[in-house]
């Protein structure tokens, strides 16, 4: 495929935007090459600035679960826009979407809308700290909760000591309050809790990890975490920015029958507009300003266009009893098709899948945490990525990302993708 215009646009962008992009993973650093500029998208397809059509497995990193430019969502936004785009005053639609979200998701009474997943997770942690009166948090290596300071932490010198910043600009003072644990390793989490007795406010986790590829919780890990939190008066934060309204109406909480104390949302809940949210039972949410002491705010929070898109999206998902099983069936079909052709072509691989999240890892044994995900062969992944791109299939430009399946994909699209994987496998 030809990317002449994308390359020219990228060169222009680089002059005025750092690295030419407004979010680093878009820059293709993980795979090399020049990012593709999108002109428009419809259903399961992206159309780039060079006139290529790509079957899209990223879907804006998750939000477009029903496909691009989904009519009910677009119509809702257009209608709303005609009536004014922002007021900084309450609107009825905020209550409407809040009621619907609370009715779809288990264990939440109240929800606060923000503008991104980062804000949702950052605010959830502040709320947990304010509510519990404790400072430390535990997060898992390989889980991503946005780019706020407390989360940009890497392992410190010893497993049970505090982490260190993994970005300049994050202070040691902030880093010392974040403890880093190993996903799917309950003994490791127990040791951290024990070593920091009565100091841990919350444990934050992606209940199905999606930021080291797709990594499912194993061996009742979530249940064990829940029990550990209950026994130690620690709040469990489920970061459902990826899994919320994707794995089920009620997200991972519903799928695994485990409750979080605070739940974070992003992506699908905004229907493709900038929306995040966090939610909990009333007692916790009433700790927030203006009725409680924990401060949290936003000029554009609950923005009418964003709420219109999110409401239309949630209404669609709520009204369609089959949508999540349809998504899962398509993802299973893709999984089996890809596994078959990779095996036939003797390519060592592991495929992880939960619901409509899936990832392909090369040369890796079972992928259960960040370390096992990092053992994957990145050179093979790069060839795989560029090979698929050349065949008209767009997957995430990083070996550490999940593919997001959209309901707009037809079985012909899936067969097209499996055939593309077969072609590319012969070159790996």
Residues that bind ligand PLP (CB under 6 A): 61, 116-118, 121, 144-146, 206, 210-211, 239, 241-242, 266, 276
- Cβ proximity to ligand PLP, 24 vs 51, nearer residue: 24
Rounded to whole angstroms, how far apart are CA atoms 134 and 177? 10
Residue 148: other Cβ atoms inside 10 A: 17
3-state SS class at 160? coil
Nearest distance, CB of residue 231 and ligand PLP, angstroms:
26
Shortest Cβ contact with ligand PLP: which residue? 117
Rounded to whole angstroms, how far apart are CA atoms 25 and 399? 11
- Cβ proximity to ligand PLP, 121 vs 389, nearer residue: 121
- Cβ proximity to ligand PLP, 68 vs 145, nearer residue: 145
Structure tokens at 383: 């060839």
- To the nearest 10 degrees (0 to 180), the angle between helices 71-81 and 304-319 is 150
- Cβ proximity to ligand PLP, 125 vs 389, nearer residue: 125
Residue 423: other Cβ atoms inside 10 A: 14
Comparing CA positions, the residue from 244, 204, 199 lying closest to residue 357 is 244
Rounded to whole angstroms, how far apart are CA atoms 60 and 50? 19
Sign of CA dihedral 315, 321, 326, 327: positive
Nearest distance, CB of residue 9 and ligand PLP, angstroms:
23
Nearest distance, CB of residue 313 and ligand PLP, angstroms:
15
- Cβ proximity to ligand PLP, 145 vs 255, nearer residue: 145
Nearest distance, CB of residue 210 and ligand PLP, angstroms:
6
- Cβ proximity to ligand PLP, 144 vs 362, nearer residue: 144
Residue 85: other Cβ atoms inside 10 A: 13
Nearest distance, CB of residue 239 and ligand PLP, angstroms:
5
User: Rg of the Cα trace of the chain?
Assistant: 21
Nearest distance, CB of residue 17 and ligand PLP, angstroms:
17
Structure tokens at 1: 């495929």
The set of residues, in sequence order, having a beta carbon less than 8 Å from that of 127 and lying 6+ positions away, is: 262, 278, 280, 284, 285, 287, 288, 294, 296
DSSP-assigned beta bridge partners for residue 394: 56
Question: For residues 147 and 122, is the Cβ–Cβ distance under 8 A?
Answer: no
φ, ψ of residue 341 in degrees (nearest 5): -70, -35
- Cβ proximity to ligand PLP, 303 vs 425, nearer residue: 303
Nearest distance, CB of residue 425 and ligand PLP, angstroms:
29
Instruction: Please measure the distance between the N-terminal and C-terminal CA atoms of the chain and give it in whole angstroms.
Output: 19
User: Which long-range contacts link 364-369 to residues 24+ away (Cβ below 8 Å)?
Assistant: 367/212, 367/213, 367/215, 368/183, 368/184, 368/215, 368/218, 369/140, 369/141, 369/142, 369/182, 369/183, 369/184, 369/185, 369/212, 369/215
Nearest distance, CB of residue 348 and ligand PLP, angstroms:
27
Rounded to whole angstroms, how far apart are CA atoms 334 and 352? 12
Question: For residues 378 and 38, is the Cβ–Cβ distance under 8 A?
Answer: no
- Cβ proximity to ligand PLP, 38 vs 195, nearer residue: 38
So which residues are the catalytic ones?
Answer: 144, 239, 267
Rounded to whole angstroms, how far apart are CA atoms 140 and 203? 9
φ, ψ of residue 114 in degrees (nearest 5): -130, -165
């Amino acid at each position: 495929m030809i990317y002449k215009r994308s390359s020219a646009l990228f060169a222009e962008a680089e002059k005025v935007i750092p690295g030419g992009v407004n979010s680093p993973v878009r820059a293709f650093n993980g795979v090399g090459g020049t990012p593709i500029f999108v002109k428009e998208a419809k259903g399961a397809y992206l159309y780039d600035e060079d006139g290529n059509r790509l079957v899209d497995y990223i879907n804006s990193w998750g939000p477009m679960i029903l496909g691009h430019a989904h009519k009910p969502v677009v119509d809702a936004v257009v209608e709303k826009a005609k009536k004014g785009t922002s007021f900084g005053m309450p609107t009825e639609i905020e209550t409407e979407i809040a009621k619907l979200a609370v009715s779809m998701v288990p264990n939440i009474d109240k929800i606060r809308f923000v503008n991104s997943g980062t804000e949702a997770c950052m605010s959830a942690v502040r709320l947990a700290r304010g509510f519990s009166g404790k400072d430390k948090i535990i997060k898992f290596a390989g889980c991503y909760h946005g780019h706020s300071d407390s989360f940009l932490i890497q392992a410190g010198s010893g497993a049970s000591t505090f982490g260190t910043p993994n970005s300049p600009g994050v202070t040691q003072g902030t880093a010392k309050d974040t403890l880093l644990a190993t996903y799917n390793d309950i003994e490791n989490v127990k040791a951290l809790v024990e070593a920091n007795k009565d100091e841990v406010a919350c444990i934050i986790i992606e209940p199905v990890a999606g930021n080291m590829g797709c990594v499912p919780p194993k061996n009742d890990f979530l249940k064990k975490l829940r029990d550990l939190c209950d026994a130690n008066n620690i709040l469990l934060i489920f970061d459902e920015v990826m899994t919320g309204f994707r794995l089920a109406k009620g997200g991972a909480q519903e799928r695994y029958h485990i409750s979080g104390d605070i739940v974070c949302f992003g992506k699908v809940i905004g229907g493709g507009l900038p929306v995040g949210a966090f939610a909990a039972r009333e007692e916790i949410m009433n700790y927030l300003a203006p009725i409680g002491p924990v401060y949290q705010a936003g000029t554009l929070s609950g923005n009418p266009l964003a709420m219109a898109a999110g409401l239309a999206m949630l209404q669609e998902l709520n009204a369609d009893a089959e949508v999540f099983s349809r998504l899962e069936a398509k993802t299973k079909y893709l999984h089996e098709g890809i596994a078959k052709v990779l095996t036939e072509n003797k390519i060592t691989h592991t495929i992880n899948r939960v619901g409509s999240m899936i990832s392909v890892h090369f040369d890796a044994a079972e992928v259960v945490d960040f370390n096992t995900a990092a053992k994957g062969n990145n050179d093979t992944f790069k060839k795989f990525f560029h090979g698929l791109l050349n065949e008209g299939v767009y997957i995430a430009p990083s070996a550490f990302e999940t593919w997001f399946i959209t309901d707009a994909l037809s079985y012909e699209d899936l067969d097209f993708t499996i055939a593309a994987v077969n072609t590319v496998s012969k070159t790996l």
